[in-house]
């Protein structure tokens, strides 16, 4: 298992802040590879809010006593004093990011960004940008540079803005068939992302025209099927670079690219640096953050 987390003033206990409209208390990431299960159960919940992002695999959540399996590409919101019960399993290779936040105006801020008072699971699609925001928050909490608390609020609001924009782009139709088909497509992509996938063949296998499928998938997920698959592959490559010792050639093959040079070009185009440079930056940041304590 790989974990990285950070807390405001290194305080691991939750707290309620009444001085600020919005305040970030902690953030972190879990990636399960070998550990069979990671359970969390807080019968009385916490004093703050929690927003989790399932980046890979899936997680098992319980809401009002009923289990809901939440796949990658979704966020889960818990409110203060709400029972929290969820499980990550190694077999699912779960990768989950989280942030805890509080404040005297959180409820109105969430409403402002279109998040209903009773929402638990929010479909967001997978995006490298989400991971980057969570990692930035972890880093800010570790380094505690001047004005870092304001920067943390900025990153959290940026995340909420991205969620809000995606919700506004979603189709207004309540067509159950359409929603079910898009859900199936996302599940299929996450199950087979490291194998060759033909968008045209998949659409035809489901009795849809290619143009109809691409258009409605983009409305649903915020990106085309091809872009979604690319983001999924690069996101998983990032996780492997962060938490394993596999070389670039091995990682390229694991995420579905037989040509490591082509994989490296795609990775650099998406992330701004090559896979090798990305890993070097992670190593340097780890040493820097360790030296800050």
Residues of the chain with CATH 1.10.10.60: 176-289
d(CA 45, CA 180): 32
Residue with tokens 């640096």: 273
Residues of the chain with CATH 2.60.120.280: 2-169
Q: Write down the CATH number for the domain with range 2-169.
A: 2.60.120.280
Q: Does the model's pTM come out above 0.95?
A: no
Q: Write down the CATH number for the domain with range 176-289.
A: 1.10.10.60
Q: Which residues neighbour 142 within 8 Å (Cβ) at sequence distance 6 or greater?
A: 6, 289, 292, 293
pLDDT attached to residue 180: 81
pLDDT in tens, 48-77: 999 999 988 889 999 998 999 998 889 999
Number of CB atoms found within 10 A of residue 205's CB: 10
Would you give per-residue pLDDT tens digits along the chain (293 residues)?
A: 678 889 998 888 889 999 999 999 999 998 887 778 899 999 999 999 999 999 888 899 999 989 999 988 899 999 999 999 999 998 888 889 999 999 999 999 999 999 999 999 998 887 778 988 999 999 999 999 999 999 999 999 999 999 998 877 655 555 667 878 888 888 888 888 889 999 999 999 999 999 999 999 888 777 899 998 998 898 888 878 877 889 999 999 999 999 999 999 999 998 889 999 988 887 765 555 445 44
Q: Which of 202, 253, 251, 197 is nearest to 229 (CA)?
A: 197
Q: Which of 260, 232, 236 is nearest to 248 (CA)?
A: 260
Angle at 32 between CA 98 and CA 270, to 5 degrees: 65
């Amino acid at each position: 298992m790989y974990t990285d987390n950070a807390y405001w003033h290194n305080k691991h206990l939750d707290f309620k802040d009444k001085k600020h409209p919005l305040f970030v208390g902690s953030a972190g990431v879990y990636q399960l590879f070998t550990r069979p299960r990671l359970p969390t159960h807080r019968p009385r919940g916490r004093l703050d809010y929690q927003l989790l992002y399932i980046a890979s695999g899936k997680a098992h959540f319980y809401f009002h006593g009923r289990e809901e399996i939440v796949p990658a590409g979704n966020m889960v919101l818990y409110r203060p004093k709400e029972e929290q019960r969820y499980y990550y399993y190694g077999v699912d290779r779960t990768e989950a990011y989280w942030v805890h936040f509080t404040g005297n105006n959180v409820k109105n801020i969430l409403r402002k960004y279109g998040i209903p008072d009773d929402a638990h699971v929010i479909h967001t699609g997978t995006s490298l940008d989400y991971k980057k925001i969570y990692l930035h928050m972890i880093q800010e909490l570790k380094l505690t540079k001047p004005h870092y608390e304001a920067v943390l609020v900025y990153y959290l609001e940026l995340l909420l803005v991205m969620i809000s924009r995606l919700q506004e782009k979603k189709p207004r139709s309540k067509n159950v068939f359409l929603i079910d088909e898009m859900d199936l497509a996302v599940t299929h992509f996450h199950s087979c992302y490291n194998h060759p996938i033909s968008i045209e063949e998949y659409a035809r296998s489901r009795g849809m025209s290619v143009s109809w499928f691409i258009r409605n998938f983009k409305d649903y997920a915020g990106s085309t099927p091809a872009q979604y698959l690319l983001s999924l592959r690069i996101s998983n490559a990032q996780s492997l670079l962060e938490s394993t010792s596999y070389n670039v050639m091995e990682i390229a093959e694991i995420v579905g690219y037989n040509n490591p040079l082509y994989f490296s070009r795609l990775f650099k185009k998406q992330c701004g640096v090559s896979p090798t440079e990305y890993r070097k930056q992670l190593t340097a940041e780890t040493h820097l953050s360790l030296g800050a304590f």
